[in-house]
């Protein structure tokens, strides 16, 4: 196993995650199996309880791990599937060591940072580096480790010490350190300053690690004299000083590293088994980067959210939009709209902000309402959803966005003016969004429905199932998406609280169970409660109430399900399903147990889709996420043509420039969802 440690200095947020991802990308393009580990020195067990303004978005993995957003970069760049143990925090390490101490594993010894904490860090890294992350299930050959924060932070000291010891444990020929630093260029003088990098490397070497590569982040390419100066003061050869200046897109970063001989250096330094052959994967990255720079047409999407002041709050959402825009040969323009600015109260207090927000919304080609928590801004999101529905503007609701779409439809179409989520109004007489039963309100972390789940389509006559069905022939059994929120059906025959059920007068005698309509004996309110009859049975019918509508392949020959990732806590009241569908809001997907409705679509609308999962978590540069891709297609008016052509984009429609020339790579120009051959 070869280990590459990426550290950072001078400032946080310097780009260590992109550098680590890019290093992994160029090594994977050489035919190596690469895995990644992100170390965060904070004491939190995981990132699940962070505010979006504190640390950006929370990325969710297949196993339900709530992790740092940099693991999203790793998965997107390397097209791998990581686990929660690929994100290591101080909290996890101390919890692990304390649990061992409580069990007596240290046999009465004094437990200390050195050697017990440092040994635990090394053991964790060596153990996790062996876990397969590629679809072929082969053991990785290279592990890229990113140490968060900056060198010199007090909380990162145990990790620096652990890797000081680690380099001798695994031997020099198997360990390499990349240090990412800043070379500022003050506008007053225009001179590139090396002193911050010198000080950062000096501090790192004083702690026992000597960098093999010094990656310099700068606004402009480094002058030769500056490179030589860094080489002299940082004890490295000039070719070991790598310049990563500001570029037009992140797709160029792997190319920038490769052009400066990083692969050749690793080949010599780590004795990697790399063959001299054309690297097809990097050629596709170059094609994507070149195409990105040639784009002329623009598609604008209004992102109506609560955390729009910090773009990292929606990092995966933005990447999914960028992937989809690139696939249809359009530049992406995101119009960030704080949902509170759309509310009538803002009109009274700050009318300028109110009108500017509505001008952004009305001028966008499509509307996206992403996930979120808390009541603030929800009424503004509902206003945006109502406008998109009435104006037939392409709309995608993700997570909370789908739930609020159901709330909006219930209020304005069904006429239930107080329809709401119990998260925001526990006393509402129409609780269309409800707390899921397994949620523990006394515990903040890990109480949501997390990780990869399977969703079955209820009909083939829907936009999302068309994406799935027409692409299934090129797949085995793994398909679309990564997910977020989902719908929960409580114990069906009575739902535990008769008054909530009986308040829904329009269809109080029926409920849809696994795609079928079944009468509910309201005169027996205890039926189906957890205390009487259990969650999965009814004492009157003696039949299981939770069954999938059909198994994969039952409705039509191709696989008719998708796999998704979830992160949610509240769900749509399933008793409303029949009421909503009668008015045109169709639930077209549900989970395998028949308990949760995952996908909703509105009839007679160009594109009005809500998903309870988070599709952005599985979007890739060469494999865009279908819901986001559908939003972009609908926003530029190409969705009907795309569906008519069997979910294929012709070269002229996608990867051609205005002169009519198209990419020679047929695997890309004939993009078909959700899989693309990407060797």
Active site residues: 399, 614, 616
Contacts of 2 (CB under 8 A, 6+ apart): 141, 142, 143, 174, 175, 176, 270, 272
Tell me the two tokens of residue 450.
């997390």
For the chain, the first-to-last Cα distance in angstroms comes to: 23
Radius of gyration of the chain measured on its C-alpha atoms = 27
C-alpha span between 433 and 573 (Å, rounded) = 5
Beta bridge partners of 589: 457, 599
CA distances from 428 to 74, 433, 529 (A): 43, 10, 21
Identify which of 255, 387, 250 has the alpha carbon closest to the alpha carbon of residue 326.
250
3-state secondary structure of 6: strand
Among positive and negative, which fits the CA dihedral 32, 667, 482, 596?
negative
Q: Is the CB of residue 671 less than 8 Å from the CB of residue 327?
A: yes
Identify which of 513, 523, 522 has the alpha carbon closest to the alpha carbon of residue 543.
513
Helix (H) / strand (E) element for 455: namely: strand 449-457
CA distances from 173 to 2, 167, 270, 271 (A): 8, 9, 5, 7
DSSP 313: G
Q: Is the CB of residue 175 less than 8 Å from the CB of residue 167?
A: yes
DSSP 505: G
444, burial (CB in 10 Å: exposed 0-12, middle 13-18, buried 19+): exposed
SS (H, E, C) 632-643: HHHHCCCHHHHH
CA distances from 160 to 122, 147, 200, 241, 643 (A): 11, 9, 14, 22, 54
Q: What is the DSSP string of 578-608?
A: HHHHHTTEEEEEEETTS--EEEEEESSSSSE
644, burial (CB in 10 Å: exposed 0-12, middle 13-18, buried 19+): exposed
Residue 115: cis peptide before it, omega within 30 degrees of 0: yes
Q: Is the CB of residue 263 less than 8 Å from the CB of residue 635?
A: no
Beta bridge partners of 648: 672
Tell me the two tokens of residue 545.
């109430």
């Amino acid at each position: 196993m070869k280990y590459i440690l990426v550290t950072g200095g001078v400032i946080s947020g310097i780009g260590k995650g992109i550098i680590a991802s890019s290093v992994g990308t160029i090594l994977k393009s050489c035919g190596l199996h690469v895995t990644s580990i992100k170390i965060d020195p904070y004491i939190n067990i995981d990132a699940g309880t962070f505010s979006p303004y504190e640390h950006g978005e929370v990325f969710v993995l297949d196993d339900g791990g709530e992790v740092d957003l940099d693991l999203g970069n790793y998965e997107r760049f390397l097209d791998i599937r990581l686990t929660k143990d690929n994100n290591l925090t101080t909290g996890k390490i101390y919890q692990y060591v304390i649990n061992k101490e409580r069990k007596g594993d240290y046999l009465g010894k004094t437990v200390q940072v050195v050697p017990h904490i440092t040994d635990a860090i090394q053991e964790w890294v060596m153990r996790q580096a062996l876990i397969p992350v590629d679809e072929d299930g082969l053991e990785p050959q290279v592990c890229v480790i990113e140490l968060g924060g900056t060198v010199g932070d007090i909380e990162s000291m145990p990790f620096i010490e652990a890797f000081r010891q680690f380099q001798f444990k695994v031997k020099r020929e198997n360990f390499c350190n990349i240090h990412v630093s800043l070379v500022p260029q003050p506008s007053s003088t225009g001179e590139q300053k090396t002193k911050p990098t010198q000080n950062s490397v000096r501090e790192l070497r004083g702690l026992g690690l000597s960098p093999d590569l010094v990656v310099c982040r700068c606004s402009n390419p480094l002058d030769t004299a500056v490179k030589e100066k860094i080489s002299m003061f940082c004890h490295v050869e000039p070719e070991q000083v790598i310049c990563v200046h500001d570029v037009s897109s992140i797709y160029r970063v792997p190319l920038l590293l490769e052009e400066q001989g990083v692969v050749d250096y690793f080949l010599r330094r780590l004795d990697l088994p790399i063959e001299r052959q054309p690297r097809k994967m990097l050629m596709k990255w170059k094609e994507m980067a070149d195409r990105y720079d040639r784009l002329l047409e623009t598609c604008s999407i209004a992102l109506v959210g609560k955390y729009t002041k910090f773009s990292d709050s929606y990092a995966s959402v933005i990447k999914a939009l960028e992937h989809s825009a690139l696939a249809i040969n359009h530049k992406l323009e995101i119009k960030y709209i704080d949902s509170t600015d759309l509310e009538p109260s803002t009109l009274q207090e700050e009318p300028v902000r109110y009108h500017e927000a509505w001008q952004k919304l009305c001028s966008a080609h499509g509307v996206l309402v992403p996930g979120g928590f808390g009541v603030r801004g929800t009424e503004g999101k509902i206003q945006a959803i109502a406008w998109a529905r009435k104006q037939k503007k392409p709309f995608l609701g993700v997570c909370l966005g789908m739930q609020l779409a159901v709330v909006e439809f219930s209020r304005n179409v069904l006429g239930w003016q107080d329809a709401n989520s119990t998260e925001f109004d526990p006393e509402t007489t129409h609780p269309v969004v409800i707390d899921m039963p397994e949620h523990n309100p006394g515990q903040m972390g890990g109480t949501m429905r997390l990780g990869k789940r399977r969703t079955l389509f209820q009909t083939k006559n829907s936009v999302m199932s068309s994406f799935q069905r027409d692409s299934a022939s090129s797949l085995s059994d793994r398909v679309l998406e990564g997910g977020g929120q989902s719908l929960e059906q409580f114990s069906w025959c009575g739902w535990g609280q008769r008054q909530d059920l009986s308040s829904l007068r329009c269809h109080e005698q029926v409920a849809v169970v696994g795609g079928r309509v079944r009468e509910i004996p309201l005169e027996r309110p205890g039926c189906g409660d957890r205390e009487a009859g259990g969650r999965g049975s009814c004492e009157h019918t003696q039949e299981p109430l939770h069954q999938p509508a059909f198994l994969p392949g039952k409705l039509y020959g191709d696989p008719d399900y998708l796999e998704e990732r979830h992160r949610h806590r509240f769900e749509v009241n399933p008793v409303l399903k029949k009421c909503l569908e009668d008015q045109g809001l169709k639930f077209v997907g549900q989970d395998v147990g028949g308990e949760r409705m995952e996908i909703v679509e509105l009839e007679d609308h160009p594109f009005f889709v809500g998903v309870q999962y988070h599709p952005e978590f599985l979007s890739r540069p060469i494999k865009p996420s279908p819901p986001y891709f559908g939003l972009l297609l609908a926003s530029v008016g190409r969705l009907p043509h795309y569906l008519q052509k069997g979910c294929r984009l012709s070269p002229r429609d996608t990867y051609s420039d205005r002169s009519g020339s198209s990419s020679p790579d047929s695997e890309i120009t004939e993009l078909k969802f959700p899989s693309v051959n990407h060797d």
